Structure 1
Amino acid sequence: MPAAVLRRAVRETVSGLPREYWWLWTSTLVNRLGAFVATFMALYLTLDRGYSASYAGLVASLHGLGGVVSSLAAGVMTDRFGRRPTLLVAQVSTAASVALLGFMHHPVAIAAVAFLVGMTSNASRPAVQAMMADIVRPEDRVRAFSLNYWAINLGFAVSSMGAGFIAEYSYLAGFLIEAGMTLVCALVVFAKLPESRPVRVAKETEPAVGLGTVLRDGRFMSVVGLSFLVALVFQQGSVGLPVAMGRAGFTAADYGTAIAVNGILIVALQIPVTRFIEHRDPKRLLVISSVLAGYGFGLTAFAGSVGVFMLTVCVWTLAEIVNAPTQTGIVVRLSPVHGRGRYQGMYTLSWALAALIAPVMSGVVIDRFGAAWLWALCAVVGTVAGLGYGLLMRRLPAEESVQEPVRESSRAPGAEVGPTATEAVATAPRTEAARA
């Protein structure tokens, strides 16, 4: 690709997003660059502490359970107290709990603090997603969510490589580095990000939004259910695939080689694929990505070499690249402005539940029926999710009006504040799709 074309593509991809968004994006990248604990927790417990694999699995499940517990609570906090306070509390608490975990030795204490880490680390997600929806124009949201997803994977790819070197030196250093990086994220939020929660004005007729409102929203809860199915499929890349490859005689290095394709492709293709899908029909994208994910994992049943495993990873990674930003954008479109935190919390819950259930599901299916049945089940689940999206999205509501409610006027000390949502729409160039 000519350099001029590449520069233009990059400029068009990153242009038009407010400064607040880029500070939030930077916070996400720094957070993922320091995500060492999730990478080496199992090795830390089994090799360094000498616990059994069963105990390591229990700790992982408790970590996931903490995320399930905090998802809804964090959503309520995001709407009631604001995005910025929720982010600050979540990140400072995460830093403290991760550092504390590094000093725990008793198995009960390790399990309890791991549960606490799961709660605190998951609590920031509804606030981050709600803040992005607040500060980014509706027509730019898929691009914004995609760039954020790219930052998550870029940071995780770098931290995964660094985790091995840090673990050779000191596991405790990994815990303390992650705690420090999380505190840096909190400082970025405190210094650079203003509160973005829309202010409710007297003339607005939108009713108050509670968790009951979310649960009674049939279409949205159906989307949450479908998101849970898709998440169950994607989770097999980290829970079912290594077990199946081990049973087939492949080594840990073979699995590492195959799964590395996932991170490499996301970093390489997320931005160009986003440019391709940005203004396309989200219903079609969700249907295609769900089915592609299911059958991408389904093809694993025919893999007999590391090269073929890598090809199957390519298939479902492409589905992941399309699905992640599109699905998050759909959640925003279906959420009332003053209930974004609760809606995002419920959506986060679907992924937290999948992370909790997927290890048990894959283990039971592989033990009782064999790995081929797990991959066939993935194909069925992906197909069901695709059909569900096709039926539910027939009358998808149009993007909300660009004249959104004004945001809270509170500013972080010394914050560099970009235009408000209304000002950005009034001054920024409109795309052809937006005019249409």
Structure 2
Amino acid sequence: MRTWYRTTIGGLPRLYWYLWTGMLINRVGGFVALVLSLYLTSARHLAIPVAGLVVGLYGIGGIAGVLLGGVLADRWGRRPTLLLAHFGAVAVLAGLIVARPIPAIAVLAALLGMMHAMPGPAFVAAIVDVTPADDRSRAFNLQFWAFNLGMAVASVLAGALAEVSFTLLFAVDAAGTLLTALLILGKVHETRPAHRATATSAGGLHTALTDRAYMLFVGLSLLLAVLSTQTSTILPLAITADGLRPSAYGSVVAYAALLIVVGQLFVPRLIGRWRKGTALAVANVLLGLGFAAVSLADGILGYLAAATVWTAGSMIAAPPNAAVIAELSPEALRGRYQSVFYLTFPAAGFIAPAAGGVSLQYLGAWHWIVCGALGLIAAAGHLLIQPARERRVAAQLAAAEEFAVPVGG
């Protein structure tokens, strides 16, 4: 029996903290994507449409990386997938430092998007593997906190390094990625359950895509993602339309990030006794109300007040969201189920600006009321599917316990 991840620190397995540290380092150093368009236009002197196309290739690579990462995490294992993605990203970043032809930069941008997206399903599947079910909510809450802390630090570093040297920026990003790879190589063992390691007939991506209970949850999660993506797509347009300076938008985003860093650690105690569907319903209501409040905002204080509400919703949603995915994912297909869920982010990244831009143009402030309605619809959906999902999870646990009982035991 393997016991290498049984030692706990702060009530969570030691291996979880290695994974957590790797994600934090990687996120702090992962700032190339934040300034890729700036690099292409200022350092490589590409026209804005061409730079936009290259950045779009990064996004397409990300979609492929999510799916590939989920499949490889189940077939090869979590550790090989993480090592391939991180060492591969180091190589691609090194290539971007020296690449000059536009076609080469475009190919490398797509590969970087793939390598950056691949670790997500493997990281989360590994956390599920090693963390007891009762501790997963806290584990995912800490993961969400680390992600946002890393993003906040990365944003500051990206701006500072871009003003000094893009070559230095790429080199520091590669160094952080390499450090994560070495941490995984030295400290992270394979976590894929041994008795499932050879389960080649357990299903594939189609299993997740045809899982009605899971896809209903993913659909509702897509609504949440579309709402959350308003902050990076449509909100800047609304703020500037009110005559505020771009720095006002930066202040709102920084304030929201600060709220998460300060408040996220208290969320598990707040929602610890709530049913997961109930917590997700409350989260979507707060997200909806927060964005609906933007319709009333015409100054920085109004936007900060609205950000307080929608950020509270984001914080409450993170732990139960991840825990539900873990509950519904078959053990042998955890990576694939995670990859299907991760597709909601690039999908929201397309839907939010495409539909939101049209909505804002023709509906004006009513666009934010529509966002509020979407939050209420998602909340109602979570409450409606909660009983059936809980029955399924209970049945899966009962079946697992029956399977675990030795014959004649």
State the TM-score, normalized to the length of structure 1: 0.84
* Alignment match, 1:109: 104
- Indicate whether 1:393 and 2:386 are aligned: yes
Quote the offset at 1:324 in angstroms.
1.6
Question: Does the alignment pair 1:291 with 2:320?
Answer: no
Identity of aligned residues (%): 39
Counterpart for residue 244 of structure 1: 238
Relative to 1, partners in 2 of residues 1:282 and 1:212: Cα closer, same or farther, differing over 3 Å? Answer: same
SS of aligned partner of 1:174: helix
Query: Once structures 1 and 2 are overlaid, which stretch shifts more, 275-284 or 140-149?
Result: 275-284
Q: Which has the higher contact order (CA 8 A, sep 6+)?
A: 1
What code does the residue aligned with 1:379 have? Answer: G
Residues 1:48 and 1:314: Cα distance change in structure 2 (over 3 Å):
farther
Q: Tell me if structure 2 keeps the 8 A contact 1:34–1:178.
A: yes
Equivalent in the alignment of 2:253 = 259
User: RMSD across aligned C-alpha pairs, in angstroms?
Assistant: 2.5
Deviation at 1:109, TM superposition (A): 3.4
Provide the residue aligned with 1:380 in structure 2. 373
Tell whether the 8 Å contact from 2:203 to 2:333 is kept in structure 1 after alignment: yes
2:67 aligned to which of 56, 65, 72: 72
Q: Secondary structure at the match of 1:195?
A: coil
C-alpha spacing 1:42/1:155, structure 2 compared with 1 (3 Å): same
Following superposition, the deviation at residue 144 of structure 1 comes to 0.3
Matching residue of 1:45:
40
Q: What is the letter of the counterpart of residue 231 of structure 2?
A: G
Name the SS of the counterpart of 2:359 in structure 1: helix
Note if 1:280 corresponds to 2:268.
no
AA of the residue aligned to 2:119: S
Give the letter for the 1:276 counterpart: L
Letter in 2 for 1:299: A
| Distance apart, 1:265 and its partner CA | 0.5
Instruction: Provide the C-alpha distance between the structure 2 equivalents of 1:302 and 1:374, rounded to a whole number of angstroms.
Output: 12
* Structure 1 residue 205 displacement after superposition: 11
Q: Which of 208, 216, 232 is the matching residue for 2:226?
A: 232
* 1:270 corresponds to: 264
Deviation at 1:403, TM superposition (A): 12
Aligned partner of residue 382 in structure 1, secondary structure: helix
* Matching residue of 1:343: 337
Do 1:259 and 1:310's aligned partners in 2 also have CA atoms closer than 8 Å? no
Aligned mates of 2:398, 2:124 — CA distance in 1:
18
Deviations 1:134-170 (A, max 9, x none): 0000000010011011111111111211222211110
Q: Which has the higher helix share?
A: 2
Q: Deviations over 1:285-313 (max 9, x none)?
A: 11111121122112112111111111111
Cα deviation for residue 45 of structure 1 reads 3.0
Give 1:398 shift.
Answer: 4.2
Cα distance, 1:70–1:287 mapped onto 2, change above 3 Å: same
Question: Which one of the candidate residues 85, 92, 104 is aligned to 2:87?
Answer: 92
Aligned to 2:212: 218
Whether contact under 8 Å (1:61, 1:356) holds in the other structure is no
TM-score (normalised: structure 2): 0.89
Partner in structure 2 of residue 412 of structure 1: none
Task: Say which SS state the counterpart of residue 300 (structure 1) adopts.
Answer: helix
Identify which range, 228-237 or 66-75, moves more after superposition.
66-75
SS at match of 1:369: helix
- The Cα shift of 1:54 comes to 3.9
Match of 1:181 among 168, 176, 181: 176
Deviations 1:30-61 (A, max 9, x none): 10111221222233233444444444443333
Unaligned runs of 5+ in 1: 1-12, 406-436
Moved more, 168-177 or 125-134: 168-177
Quick check: 1:39–1:160 contact (8 Å CA) kept in 2?
yes
1:246-273: CA deviations, max 9, x gaps? Answer: 2332222111111111110110000011
Q: CA distance change for structure 1 residues 84 and 235 in 2, over 3 Å: closer, same or farther?
A: same
Distance 1:18 1:356 in 2: 37
* 1:164-175 aligned within 5 A: 164-175=159-170
2:186 aligned residue (174, 186, 191): 191
**For residues 205 and 337 of structure 1, what CA distance do their matches in structure 2 show?**
10
Q: Which residue, out of 12, 15, 31, partners 2:26?
A: 31
* SS of equivalent to 1:200: helix
In structure 2, give the amino acid aligned to 1:282: K
Measured in 2, the distance between the counterparts of 1:136 and 1:403 equals 20
Gaps of 5+ in 2: 1-7, 402-409
Q: State the alpha-carbon separation in 1 of the partners of residues 314 and 340 from structure 2.
A: 20
Q: Would the aligned equivalents of 2:328 and 2:393 in 1 still touch at CA under 8 Å?
A: no
What corresponds to 2:404 in structure 1? none
Deviation at 1:192, TM superposition (A): 0.1
Q: Is the 8 A contact 2:199 2:332 kept in 1?
A: no
AA aligned opposite 1:160: S
Q: Which residue of 2 aligns with 1:124?
A: 119
Partner Cα distance (2:56, 2:352) in 1: 10
Q: How many residues align?
A: 391
